[in-house]
Structure formats: C-alpha cells, structure tokens
Chain A
Amino acid sequence: MGKLSSVWREADHRYRLVAHKCGNCGRVYFPPRDICPVCHRDSIGKMTEQELAGTGSIVSYTVVHDAPMAFSRQKPYIIALIELDEGPVITGQIVDSDPSEVDFGKRVHSVFRRIREDGKGGIIEYGYKFVVD
C-alpha cells in the first residue's frame, strides 16, 4: 500500500507532529489543513506550521485482533483516540504500556516508531505512537 512519494510527502507531519495553526482564530489542526473549517476564506494564506508537544489524554481505545496485512505481525495492538493538549484529536497506537494502565482520560506522550512495512524488502514507514505516562 505505501508508496514512496506519499511516505516522503507526509514525513514532517508524521515524524515531528507538525500541525497547522489558523492565523485568524488560533485553532490548531492535525492532520494539517490548508483551510480552517471555522474561518473558511478568512484563513486563506494564514495557516502556519506548529510543532506539537505530543502530549495528551486518551478519549477512547480498543484492542485490535483482526488486522490488515501490514499489521498482522503486531496484533493484538491498541488503537486509541488521543486528545492532544493543543486541541486536536488524533488516531494512533498505544505501545509499550501495561494494558491495565490504558483507560479513559489517561495521560500519554508520543514516541517515534516503525508503523508498518510493505512486505519483505518493501518500504518501512515510520511515525508517531503513544505511551502511557
């Protein structure tokens, strides 16, 4: 699934959690958006990059047992919605944490990890995952 150009294109956002901030209302968006869905045309040309701290808390979580091909070696794994301290809610895995520690509202921080690989000898894609504090 992963193709080289898209891996390269999204690297900044996936490696360093680079978000877009609307210069009109101050809201922060991750994944980055070129147009603020609140300010619409007033935001044109005013979206600036902002690196996120990678800290936040768990909104909801699940343990995935039935996984797509690129993740079959990782299962079971935890997918969660994380509300970042700057505002955005994002989807990601929780790793290296005691499953009993994973709960609503628990504080987490981001780590840089291997996300998926495109078969043997294929592209390896990296990005953020989260660890319980």
Chain B
Amino acid sequence: MSEDVYIIGAGETKFGELWERSLRELAVEAGLKAVENAGVYSKDIQVLYGSNSLAGTINAQNDIGSLIADFSGIASNHIPAIRIEASSASGAAAVREAYLAIKSGEYDCVMVGAVEKMTDLYGPEMLDHVSTLLDREWEAFFGATPAAMAALTARKYMHDFNVEKENIMAIPISDHRNASMNPDAHFRNKLTMETAMGATMISEPLNMMDCAPMSDGAAALVIASGSFMKRNRLNGVRILSSGISQDFLALHSRNSIYTMDSTVLAARQAMEKAGLKHKDMSFLEIHDSYSIYGITAIEDLGFAKKGKAAEVIQSGIDINSALPINPSGGLKAKGYPIGAAGVSQFVEAVLQLTEKAGQRQIKDARYGMMHSIAGTGSTSLVHIVGGE
C-alpha cells in the first residue's frame, strides 16, 4: 500500500517584470515561504526538484537544482537536487516527480522549487528563446513562434466550429477579473472586451491580449507523505491523482490541430485514479498560455464537447459560478513564468482548499484540477487535489 501524498506547504513570489530580482533570489524567496508555511525545517527536506524551462538560454545558467539548493542554504545537507524540464509543463512535471518519489516509499518530504527569470531578455531576441518550446528544426526554423502555432489552431477552430473571436477572448477577460483580486498577479487591471479586441496584433487572429505575458516569478511546494504529516502534526492538501501523456513534438505531426490528445489522456488518467466525476470539481486551473488553449483545454479535459467550450463559458466561469476557471488569474493575468507556472497553480489550489484565497475565495471549494501543457501540447499533465 503506497503512501498518500500531501502538499504541506506552499509559497510564491509576486509575478511580474521584477527587474531588481535575480533568478536565485526569486527561487529562494518562494522556497522559504513554502518551508515556513509547511512548518518544517530545511533538515526535513530529503530531495529537491528544481523546475525551470529556459534559464539555460535566457540566463545562461543550468544546473538549477544545485543553484536553488545552494542559495537556499542547504548545499551542506547534501540532498539530491536536480532540475525537471518539460518546457512549459516543467512545473507540473516536477510536482509529479515529487508525488511519485513519495508514492514509491523512497522519500517522506520533498521540496519542489520552480523559477523562471524572463525579463533579462526581451523583444525579438526573447522570441528566439521562447520558440525553443517548438520543434526548432521543422517549425521555429521557418519563422514559426509559439503564438503563431496557437494562431493556426485558433483560425482553424473558429472556422470549423463557427466560433467568434469574442468567445475565445472571454478567457483572458475572466482571467483579468480574477487576477484583480490576486495580490501576486502580474496584471491586476480588469479588461473590457473592447480593449481586448483592439490590442496589438501578434499572430492573426491572436493579439496581445490572447497571449500570456513573459513574467518573472517563482513558486514552491513542500510535499510529504501522510505518515510524515501526521507524525509531525502538520496539515496538508492531498494530491489525489497525477495524469501525464505525451504526443508528437511538432503540431504538424499530430492527429488534430485543435484536440490535444495528450490532455485528453492525462485528464482521463487523473479522473480515473481519483475516482471522481467532472461535476465534483470545485475549480480548474488551466494552461491558457494562449486564449485558444483555454478553449481547447475546457473541451479536452472533458467539460465540453469539441467546439462547444463557448457554451461552458456562457454559463459562467467566474469564482461564483458552477465551474470557476483560473481563480488565480491564470497564465494570462496571474502571469506566465514558463517553468514556474505549473507549480503556482498548486499554490492557488492550496489557498482555495484551505480557505485562504481572500477576495477570490471559492465557496466550499473541495476539489481542484490542475492542467499544464508543454509548448503546443507535446506533453500534458493533469493533477487533482483536495478531499479529506
């Protein structure tokens, strides 16, 4: 019988353009907050999984696991500290590794530290680095960017299902509304449909308000076994299940350009393992790096039939609705530090499930679903948290 797994501590930095903060400072701040929140000491941490996507190119720094351990002051504890990388799904992948490490019985108390420092570069130069999320030789080589690939999906989706751009833009608008109540969010301004629709074009039909920003930020979790938690009289939020699936790296090789098979399969695994139904979910945190991916996520996670996400949105996705989506503000408005975004979704889940989400608190929140994708959907992870 494997151990139950709990998040016993969570912490994050503010997200945004944090010019005065370095990669390591951000990572350490989030890590200390998580350890403090957990009520454990650094000597309790048996392994550290560092999550990061682009430091190797943006900041010319690799070995992020050692970096985080070192500047968190635990280098002399000599625990394993390695980096987990799955592009924009790095954070969720690191949480999964922590979950498995405890499930295996090998470890009792694991740290996940996720960080991305993006604003050390900007503009066209940054686009070269962000485009490494794609297939460099056969997509990015020809001038494709992540936004362009999302735009190809959006254009075809709108055409095949007769969907208006406003239906897609409803996701960023909802994100901004929620982020206005989140002090850690990159953007706290509310967004009107008129402003959103009139924003600078990025890759038609997607404009700047369809695209998550390049944010600096870090998030960290302390994850422990049920027995460790009880032994030390601590509290936690349970990770009920973890689903993961893979697909072709390049969009052009996949079965569909608007169904992410990896998300469909990861969601199915997570739901089956948790033994729950879609209607049991109190909220979702979805990977809306581009607005269209929010739409396809609602469908691929099983909350709407293909082409019908707009109906779910129309029936309400705000924090008081039957299916709140991205109470944190999502990738669009809370922010998108690429390798840290997945972990920050869990920080939100902990706040919601322990009734500490303040203004944006969802009433009677019981179960949350966390969704993360790599690039255009080459890897998807779905986690379900909550319950007793």
Q: Which A residues are closer than 8 A to B by beta carbons?
A: 1, 6, 10, 31, 37, 59-72, 74, 77, 79-81, 88-93, 104, 115-116, 125, 127, 129
Please indicate the chain B residues that have their CB under 8 angstroms from the CB of A125 in the complex.
141
Q: Which B residues are closer than 8 A to A by beta carbons?
A: 124-125, 127-128, 131, 137-145, 147-148, 151-153, 155-156, 159, 200-206, 248, 250-253, 257
* Residue contact B203 to A64, C-beta cutoff 8 Å: yes
Q: Which of B125, B137, B152, B159 meets A10, CB within 8 Å?
A: B137
Q: How far is the CA of A3 from the CA of B206 in the complex (A)?
A: 32
Please indicate the chain A residues that have their CB under 8 angstroms from the CB of B155 in the complex.
60-62
* Residue contact B143 to A67, C-beta cutoff 8 Å: yes
Taking the closest CB of chain A, its distance from the CB of B54, in whole angstroms, is 14
A63-B204, A64-B203, A71-B143 known; A90-B148 Cβ under 8 A: no
Taking the closest CB of chain B, its distance from the CB of A16, in whole angstroms, is 15
**Chain B contact residues: over half helix, strand or loop, or mixed?**
helix
Taking the closest CB of chain B, its distance from the CB of A129, in whole angstroms, is 8
* Residue contact A64 to B143, C-beta cutoff 8 Å: yes
Q: How far is the CA of A79 from the CA of B250 in the complex (A)?
A: 14
Q: How far is the CA of A72 from the CA of B200 in the complex (A)?
A: 16
* Residue contact A65 to B252, C-beta cutoff 8 Å: no
New contact pairs (8) apart from A81-B252, A92-B142, CB-CB < 8 Å: A1-B128, A59-B152, A63-B204, A64-B147, A79-B143, A80-B152, A81-B257, A104-B159
Please indicate the chain B residues that have their CB under 8 angstroms from the CB of A79 in the complex.
142-144, 148, 152, 203
* Residue contact B128 to A68, C-beta cutoff 8 Å: yes
Q: Which of B139, B141, B202 meets A66, CB within 8 Å?
A: B202
* Residue contact B124 to A116, C-beta cutoff 8 Å: no
Q: Which of A67, A89, A90 meets B127, CB within 8 Å?
A: A67
Taking the closest CB of chain A, its distance from the CB of B208, in whole angstroms, is 8
* Residue contact A65 to B152, C-beta cutoff 8 Å: no
* Residue contact A59 to B145, C-beta cutoff 8 Å: no
Q: How far is the CA of A79 from the CA of B125 in the complex (A)?
A: 19
Please indicate the chain A residues that have their CB under 8 angstroms from the CB of B202 in the complex.
65-66
Q: How far is the CA of A67 from the CA of B139 in the complex (A)?
A: 13
Q: How far is the CA of A62 from the CA of B376 in the complex (A)?
A: 15
Q: How far is the CA of A89 from the CA of B255 in the complex (A)?
A: 10
* Residue contact A65 to B203, C-beta cutoff 8 Å: yes
Q: How far is the CA of A53 from the CA of B123 in the complex (A)?
A: 37
Taking the closest CB of chain A, its distance from the CB of B122, in whole angstroms, is 12
* Residue contact A74 to B143, C-beta cutoff 8 Å: yes
Q: Which of B131, B143, B147, B252 meets A89, CB within 8 Å?
A: B252
Q: How far is the CA of A62 from the CA of B156 in the complex (A)?
A: 10
Please indicate the chain A residues that have their CB under 8 angstroms from the CB of B143 in the complex.
64, 67-68, 70-71, 74, 77, 79, 93, 115-116
Q: How far is the CA of A6 from the CA of B140 in the complex (A)?
A: 14
Q: How far is the CA of A5 from the CA of B88 in the complex (A)?
A: 29
Q: Which residue of A lies closest to B153 (CB)?
A: A60
* Residue contact A115 to B142, C-beta cutoff 8 Å: yes
* Residue contact B128 to A115, C-beta cutoff 8 Å: no
Q: Which residue of A lies closest to B208 (CB)?
A: A66
Q: Which residue of A lies closest to B202 (CB)?
A: A66
Taking the closest CB of chain B, its distance from the CB of A112, in whole angstroms, is 13
Taking the closest CB of chain B, its distance from the CB of A106, in whole angstroms, is 13
